[in-house]
């Protein structure tokens, strides 16, 4: 394996990384080097304590990477040099170098971490610790705890605002979204949403925060200026009861027009028009369509199916499933490094 190369951050690099939020790139130091993509789709497998690697072009499984116990959420550092893995049963964030396909260090981030998010400058890691009902902030990459914020029971989703000033965290039990000041940890607002809120996604300009409600078969849309729910989008699948539809992960298309929503036990992914807030298509995936990951140009959506132990690849232009690939036991999250 050749060592990872890097490209100096400039306009050309920014264009090649067009799927990145512009605000995030603007906050990086001007001399930041961006890691060269590996061309891999990476899936965390909770029961295998490993990451499964899939070639993004051929869709063939090309290897695995051992990691800490019960790997779940995955996210790249802003320079894309490392992939961070939240490991629920070991209370750690593993740092994976995809070029060498190995762990390069683990940092303690509290008990039962599930979802995390990095500040736009990559210096603060915000983590939901489900067992303790806490949102914790850690200096990154040092791992020193900076702040603890008590929130509702079973927090999961964590999302930092594009400007880094706020942190949103969902409480599954309380059916609340807590809005936290990143500067001092104060809770600025508690927003009632649907039943068992799970994950977040922003629209293109950050004016809306979408919240998936797993047991509400819906998405709540929050206006980020007023901090009020302005719309609730219900999901329906013909022949299924609302209890069978459990939306969890969401990802926005690079052009900002479509929100893809994994419908969990309904085994489908919804294609939602963001402007009209209407479902355009639903596409059958595997059993418990859970984690979602888009490639750079948005042409392929990768769906981690937690109960069929596979990854379904969907062509977004035709809204058609191309293939399903076995990716280990209980796949949770997926990212694409293309």
Q: What is the CATH number of the domain that holds 323?
A: 2.130.10.10
Cα-based torsion angle of the residue sequence 200, 306, 130, 72 in order, rounded to the nearest 10 degrees: -80
Domain limits for position 292: 1-62+245-338
Cα-based torsion angle of the residue sequence 82, 86, 90, 94 in order, rounded to the nearest 10 degrees: 0
Residue with tokens 């009861």: 241
Domain-embedded: residue 146? no
What is the mean predicted confidence (pLDDT) over 263-291?
A: 97
Q: Write out pLDDT tens, residues 124-157.
A: 999 999 989 999 999 999 999 999 999 999 999 9
User: 127, 177, 117: which is closest to 152 by C-alpha?
Assistant: 177
User: 317, 251, 262, 256: which is closest to 286 by C-alpha?
Assistant: 262
Domain-embedded: residue 143? no
Domain-embedded: residue 221? no
How far is residue 12 from each of residues 17, 31, 314, measured CA to CA in Å?
9, 13, 29
Residue 22 pLDDT: 41
Domain-embedded: residue 318? yes
Helices (H), the chain: 11-16, 22-27
Other Cβ atoms closer than 10 A to 299: 14
Domain-embedded: residue 262? yes
What is the mean predicted confidence (pLDDT) over 258-274?
A: 98
Tell me the C-alpha distance between 102 and 202, whole Å: 32
Among 28-32, 63-67, 115-119, the minimum mean pLDDT is found in 28-32
Domain-embedded: residue 270? yes
Q: Please determine, for residue 234, whether its predicted confidence score (pLDDT) is greater than 80.
A: yes
pTM score: 0.90
Q: Write out pLDDT tens, residues 148-196.
A: 999 999 999 999 999 999 999 999 999 999 999 999 999 999 999 999 9
Residue 15 CB contacts under 8 Å (≥ 6 apart), including other chains: none
Q: Please determine, for residue 29, whether its predicted confidence score (pLDDT) is greater than 80.
A: no
The strand ranges marked E within 172-254 are 176-181, 187-192, 197-202, 208-213, 218-223, 228-234, 250-252
Domain-embedded: residue 291? yes
Domain-embedded: residue 266? yes
Tell me the C-alpha distance between 322 and 337, whole Å: 19
What is the number of domains present in the chain?
A: 1
């Amino acid at each position: 394996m050749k060592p990872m190369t890097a490209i100096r951050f400039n306009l050309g690099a920014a264009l090649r990384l067009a799927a990145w939020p512009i605000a995030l790139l603007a906050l990086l130091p001007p001399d930041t080097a961006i890691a060269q993509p590996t061309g891999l789709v990476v899936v965390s497998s909770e029961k295998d304590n490993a990451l499964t690697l899939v070639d993004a072009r051929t869709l063939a499984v090309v290897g695995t990477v051992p990691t800490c116990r019960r790997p779940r959420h995955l996210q790249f550092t802003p320079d894309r040099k490392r992939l961070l893995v939240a490991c629920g049963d070991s209370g750690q964030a593993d740092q994976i170098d995809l070029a060498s396909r190995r762990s390069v260090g683990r940092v303690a981030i509290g008990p039962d971490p599930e979802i995390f998010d990095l500040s736009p400058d990559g210096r603060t890691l915000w983590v939901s610790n489900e067992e303790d009902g806490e949102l914790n902030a850690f200096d990154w990459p040092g791992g020193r705890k900076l702040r603890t914020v008590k929130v509702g029971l079973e927090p999961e989703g964590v999302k930092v605002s594009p400007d880094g000033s706020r942190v949103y965290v969902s409480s599954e039990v309380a059916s609340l979204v807590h809005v936290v000041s990143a500067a001092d940890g104060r809770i600025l607002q508690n927003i009632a949403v649907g039943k068992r809120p799970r994950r977040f996604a922003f629209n293109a300009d950050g004016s809306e925060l979408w919240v998936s409600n797993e047991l509400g078969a819906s998405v709540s849309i929050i206006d980020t200026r007023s901090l009020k729910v302005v719309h609730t989008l219900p999901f329906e699948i013909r022949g299924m009861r609302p209890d069978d539809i459990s939306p969890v992960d969401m990802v926005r298309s690079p052009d900002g027009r479509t929100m893809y929503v994994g419908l969990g036990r309904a085994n489908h992914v919804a294609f939602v028009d963001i402007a009209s807030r209407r479902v355009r298509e639903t596409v059958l995936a595997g059993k418990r369509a859970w984690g979602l990951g888009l490639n750079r140009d948005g042409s392929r959506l990768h769906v981690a199916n937690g109960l069929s132990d596979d990854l379904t690849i969907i062509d977004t232009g035709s809204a058609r499933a191309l293939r399903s690939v076995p990716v280990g036991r209980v796949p949770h999250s997926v990212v694409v490094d293309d």
